[in-house]
């Protein structure tokens, strides 16, 4: 599975990690819907860190379609309200 972190590149991560990432994504959706900005920032940082730690960064010269696009860690809470809705960025 190829995941792009906006502004940081693409990572190849094991498909087995999807469920764990989806749990974090669902927590972010819940936190955003509750207006918990601090919790949102912590969980988004955790999601990005998990991808980086579990994945292999692809060379920028490699042009590969991303399966999932993760917003940057500096995504504002207001912007997150448009991104982390419904099922979030990882569809169940």
Q: Evaluate whether residue 52 is within a structural domain.
A: yes
Q: Evaluate whether residue 27 is within a structural domain.
A: yes
Q: Evaluate whether residue 78 is within a structural domain.
A: yes
Q: Evaluate whether residue 92 is within a structural domain.
A: no
pLDDT value at residue 61? 85
Tell me which residue range forms the domain holding 7: 2-83
**pLDDT tens profile 16-66:** 999 999 999 999 999 999 999 999 999 999 999 999 999 999 998 888 899
As a whole number of Å, the CA-based R_g of the chain is 13
pLDDT value at residue 92? 66
Q: Evaluate whether residue 91 is within a structural domain.
A: no
Q: Evaluate whether residue 90 is within a structural domain.
A: no
Q: Could you tell me if 91 and 29 are in contact, meaning their C-beta atoms sit under 8 angstroms apart? A: no
Count of domains in the chain? 1
DSSP strands (E only) in the chain: 2-5, 9-12, 56-57, 68-70
CA distance 34 to 16: 29
CA distance 65 to 4: 9
Which is higher by pLDDT, 46 or 87?
Answer: 46
């Amino acid at each position: 599975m190829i995941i792009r972190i906006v502004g940081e590149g693409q990572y190849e991560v094991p498909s087995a990690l999807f469920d764990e990432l989806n749990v974090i994504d669902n927590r972010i959706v819940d936190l955003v819907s509750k207006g918990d900005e601090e919790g949102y920032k912590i969980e988004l940082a955790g999601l990005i860190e998990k991808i980086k730690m579990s994945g292999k960064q692809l060379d920028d010269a490699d042009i590969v379609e991303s399966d999932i696009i993760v917003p940057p860690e500096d995504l504002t809470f207001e912007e997150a309200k448009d991104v982390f809705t419904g099922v979030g960025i990882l569809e169940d």
